[in-house]
Structure 1
Amino acid sequence: MSVTLPLEESDLRVDAATAGPWQTVVWNDPVNLMSYVVHVFREYFGYSPARAERLMLAVHHDGQAVVAEGAREQMELHAQAMHDYGLWATVREAGTP
């Protein structure tokens, strides 16, 4: 015999919070060279030279750039990969400043 319990309001909030989309954000730092950041974006994400440079310039001039958007788990993997390359990255819900 199976029993179906009603969803709690907190369960609905959790589902909505993980639904996404989410973003991986790379932040400016005083350590990494601009050419290295371009290299990372090209190597890891497979971005074209122009796109990788455009994102690097956003990081440099604006202090941050959204480098990927999608499901939360995938964005967390991207952020961890950026950390492995020595870049500062975070995950945030899309639409969050």
Structure 2
Amino acid sequence: MSAAQPSRFDTTSEARHLPSRGQPHFRDSIVVLEDVTELACRIDRSIMTLRHAGILDRARAIVLGEFVRCPLPAGVDYSLADVLLDVLAPLGVPIYGGLPLDMASAICRG
């Protein structure tokens, strides 16, 4: 068995192009997800698009980086972590979150 390779995917900008001939595949990969200034509902929809397209089916693990300025609707009693776990848990792979990958922060700094 080969070692898992990390794959970075900007959830919303990439998912809107699916399905296509050039769609990514994450077989035996560790998928890194993070985003900046995106609504939580759009992140949810983008990840669901990836799931329904089968793109995440053979990933070995999911790593959640930073989700900077990704607001939830006002007055809700759940967090973005709850949303992410809800859509990713059915994959049945390890999910690691809160990792300071600093890519999102670097984007914000310009």
| Structure of greater Rg | 1
TM-score, with length taken from structure 2: 0.28
Q: Which has the higher contact order (CA 8 A, sep 6+)?
A: 1
